[in-house]
Amino acid sequence: KGFLGHPESYWDRVIVSGNRVIDQRGPGKAYNILTGEPILRRDPITGKDVPWEFTKSGHHCNYAIASPHLVTFRAASAGFTDVESGNTARLQGFRSGCRNSLIPANGVLNAPNFAHGCVCGYSLFTSLAFTHVPRAEMWSYSALKAPETSVKRLGVNLGAPGDRMSSDGTLWLDYPSVGGASPDVRITAKGPSRTFRQHSSLVTARDHDWVASSGVTGLQTLTIRLDKNAKTPRAYTVRLHFCEPENLKAGQRVFDVRLGGKSVLEEFDVVATTGVRRKAIVREFKKVSATTELTIDLVARTGIPILNGVEIVAED
């Protein structure tokens, strides 16, 4: 029968892009123009198919534009949604115009200054053009819901300003959540912890420098829910990310690490291992058994412990 109209109320116009009909609300949904069926995407946390949606927060006074890779719009500042992932990001410091003015074309995102006469205060009042720089910091938020089934793949980016999808398909969630709408995975932290963050360009890392650039000091226990209905244990691969941000010497920050109550690192010293500060190191542990949740304990020996990020991948 093809697309017969949006099944709910929608704001103004819809977008036709390829075989998709996209509404302009937030969260917005997409439908197959030939069948009218909702377009699905893979939930990066559970691996299940869920409806494709995008969301935008903040004042928006213009219409969205769709391209094969981006949906662009105003979301307080300029914003866009990655069509493949459904994640929304902001281009801070300037606003797009009150008409369609974020125009993707041949690998360049053009932003002509269509904000004349607007009283909204933004630092940059000029025309701009952007190209993709993979190493640039870019943080996102999304319309993804809390997992209703077991977690298959998840990253927890401690102290980060938003979410980010890695090239290998892991969605890294900011904790504490400060960057906008995000899947509500239950995470609890205990201990006199303090978050820190520096720019990722200051960190030496093989990859995931944007994980190593932030973290938590003083953390004692981090608990991550994996499946509230699980009855039997499951095996996971757990990767712990560490990077020393302070000007400490070897021996000044030493601690033990336990996963699910089992010791995996004893007298661990980040600086002694890397040789310098601001150099990332990842420790991987396979066949970590967990049922409903994973508990990470950091036990201080000298100074206070540090942890930057946790990646969890189900093995079966």
Segment 165-212, tens digit of pLDDT: 999 999 999 999 999 999 999 999 999 999 999 999 999 999 999 999
Question: Is the preceding peptide bond at 147 cis, omega within 30 degrees of 0?
Answer: no
Strands of 77-82's sheet in order across: 65-66, 70-75, 77-82, 88-91, 140-141
* CA proximity to 235, closest of 121, 146, 123, 313: 313
**Amino acid 118: pLDDT:** 73
Q: Token match 């439908």: residue?
A: 31
pLDDT band per the 50, 70, 90 thresholds, residue 291: very high
Each residue of 18-53: pLDDT tens digit? 888 887 765 788 889 888 899 999 999 999 999 999
DSSP character string of 89-143: EEETT----SSS--EEETTEEEE----TT-----S--S-EEEE--TTS---EE--
% residues pLDDT > 90 (the chain):
65
pLDDT score for 11: 52
pLDDT at 304: 98
- At 104 the pLDDT is 92
Q: Which of 248, 241, 268, 246 is nearest to 256 (CA)?
A: 268
The label of the residue with tokens 């933004």 reads 122
Which pLDDT score is estimated for 63? 77
Structure confidence at residue 5 (pLDDT): 63
**Structural domains in the chain plus CATH codes:** 15-131 (2.40.128), 146-314 (2.60.120.430)
Higher pLDDT, 117 or 95: 95
Q: What is the dihedral of CA 260, 261, 262, 268, to 10 degrees?
A: 100
Residue 117 one-letter amino acid: G
Radius of gyration in angstroms for the set of CA atoms belonging to the chain, rounded to a whole number: 22
What pLDDT does residue 122 have? Answer: 75
Is the Cα torsion angle 224, 228, 233, 237 positive or negative in sign?
A: negative
Mean pLDDT of 122-131: 84
Res 12 pLDDT > 80:
no
Res. 3: pLDDT tops 70? no
Which pLDDT score, from 0 to 100, does residue 154 have? 98
Summarised one tens digit per residue, pLDDT across range 62-105 is: 778 889 899 998 888 888 999 998 899 998 888 787 777 899 99
% residues pLDDT > 70 (the chain): 95
Question: Pairing relation of β-strands 20-22 and 15-17?
Answer: antiparallel
- The pLDDT value recorded for residue 76 is 82
What residues pair up with 41 in beta bridges, in sequence order?
50
**Per-residue confidence (pLDDT) for residue 297, from 0 to 100:** 99
CA distance linking residue 143 with residue 254, whole number of Å = 40
Tell me if the bond preceding 134 is cis, omega within 30° of 0. Answer: no
pLDDT at 284 over 80: yes
Write down the pLDDT at residue 70.
Answer: 92
